[in-house]
Amino acid sequence: MRSPDDSDLIDRKEACRRLDVKPATLYAYVSRGKVRRVRTPQGSRYLAADVDRFAQRSAARKGH
């Protein structure tokens, strides 16, 4: 996998907003390998593609 570009990454607040979850739930998704985290000089960032893919799956399960 290539190194993610800054435009491929989002911060924790945005990841939680897109997933409609609390930070603890985001942490659980990361620990289970559902969402990849990248450590940057600005702090942890999350791959937007992973977050969006997981959000779509979650919405589909909820029937949205």
What are the tens digits of pLDDT across the range 24-55?
A: 999 999 999 999 999 999 899 999 999 999 98
Give the up-direction half-sphere exposure of residue 11: CA atoms within 13 A in the CB hemisphere.
4
Give the up-direction half-sphere exposure of residue 38: CA atoms within 13 A in the CB hemisphere.
22
- Cβ of 9: how many Cβ atoms within 10 Å? 21
pTM: 0.81
SS3 30: helix
pLDDT at 33: 95
Position 29, amino acid? Y
Contact 21, 14 (CB under 8 A): no
